[in-house]
Amino acid sequence: MDKFNEEVQEPVSPHGQYFNSSVICSYVFAFLELAIPFDNSLAIPLLKDVFIPINPRFSSIMVKDKEGEMRWQKVEVKPEEHLKIPIFPETINSSSCELYDNYLSDYVTSILAKKTPQDKPLWEIHVINYPTTNAACTIIFKLHHGLGDGYSLMGALLSCLQRADDPSLPLSFPSKRPQLDSKYAKKSLFKKLCIDISSFFSSISDFGSSILKTTMIEDDKTPIRSGYEGNESQPVTMSTISLSLDQIKEIKTKLKVTINDVVCGMVFYGIRLYMKEMNEKTKRANSTAVVMLNTRNIGGYQSLTEMQKPECKGLWGNQISFLQIPIPKVSQSVISNPLEFVWNSRELIKRKRRSFSVYLVAMLMDLEMRLRGPEAVAKIIYNTIGNSSVLMSNLVGPVEKMTLANHPVYGLYFTATGGPEDLTITIISYEKILRIAMKTQKGFIDEHKLKFYIEKASEIIFKAAME
């Protein structure tokens, strides 16, 4: 009995149980693109000495204790069982990079759909040591969402990397914009009262619409939403877009908005252009984006030492919520002035962020967890995502060039799996590049056209802003 208590450690968080249920089995995938081929002999030592010690969950599995509660149980980890180094057919053609692009794409499609064994720690590392159009080598971190949310897992990944210019210095991140609370504090009493009243009514409205979205109301079926059940088991494809962060900052300065406003406006406008191209009637369809939010009130990633201090307990894990944003519709005025898409997106996001409906939804989920258990809450999350059109998430990346064991990191992006959505869009910054990754339902969404229209939307908005 004592041995059992020693092995069984902290309880699995509610979100950890939601994301590892019979309804949802979700993974976060992080892609590192290296500028030079990776030395495979370094893989096992790096896993043993750097990756596995990051957090006890990387050497634990989920088990039920005697009371039926899910807990993390420490197990012996065999790194070689978690390391995957695929062998692709050799090629000597001049277009070998393009061929390896296809091999990599097929390989990624296969691992996005596969579940890891539940009797081993819930992670894998895939080293694709073949030159593609984007990199000399691609390393894929496959991490179960039950281990932590994007913030935790990205923090774990970044702890394995060093600054290229000076490994002794920590990675740095873009400064966080001023919090809404500080701006609110400067307002007069009357203005605060008006804001509070407005926030109260919009929160109640948002909470009501969230409940309806989960239980009754679905988005229209469009070229980005099939409405089919069981989408999470269908094959998907990955594609990415690289945008200049400096260019986005120019738009931000011209329009006096945030970088997030600009990026959301570009993505939403690109999606609407794609929908209009594929089916003219759907340009006015009701479509919603579910945006995953990090609810920690901190500006950047903490070191793993900081994250695991007693006073910082809770930084690691799943601290996320969902924000439902209606995708603005394409009108004649928007076509003549595409900047309205950025401003419309800004107003929608601004109003939603002021709402405390996300906390009301969290309280409802907590109550549901206590009354009916994690499977019921997982079903709520599943329905919320399934009734919407797009799942979105964004993370802030480092501003300096990184290395992995002296291998320069050329690019970085991520995605998440396990939900019923046809389209997942994830965004991360690295150095002066903003990387947009799109996970699309294979055979339903034309990823090449969607990529084209998002790139076109960014060009149109930049041109309009500069004029």
pLDDT of residue 216: 73
277 within a domain of the structure (yes/no): yes
11 within a domain of the structure (yes/no): yes
pLDDT of residue 54: 86
Q: Are residues 127 and 210 in the same domain?
A: no
411 within a domain of the structure (yes/no): no
402 within a domain of the structure (yes/no): no
176 within a domain of the structure (yes/no): no
Domain of residue 208: give its range.
Answer: 183-396+421-466
331 within a domain of the structure (yes/no): yes
Q: Are residues 23 and 117 in the same domain?
A: yes
pTM of the entire predicted model: 0.87
Last residue within a domain, chosen from 135, 163, 191? 163
Q: Are residues 119 and 216 in the same domain?
A: no
246 within a domain of the structure (yes/no): yes
Q: Are residues 209 and 288 in the same domain?
A: yes
437 within a domain of the structure (yes/no): yes
Q: Are residues 216 and 155 in the same domain?
A: no
Residue written as token pair 């004592």: 2
Q: Are residues 58 and 26 in the same domain?
A: yes
Give me the number of domains the chain comprises.
2
Q: Are residues 312 and 453 in the same domain?
A: yes
pLDDT of residue 232: 82
Q: Are residues 153 and 192 in the same domain?
A: no
Residue ranges for the chain with pLDDT beneath 50? 1-6, 178-181, 184, 295-305, 307-318
CATH of the domain at 221: 3.30.559.30
pLDDT one-digit tens code per residue, 359-393: 777 777 778 888 888 888 888 889 889 899 999 98
Whose CA is closest to 114, among 133, 86, 137?
Answer: 86
Q: Are residues 157 and 253 in the same domain?
A: no
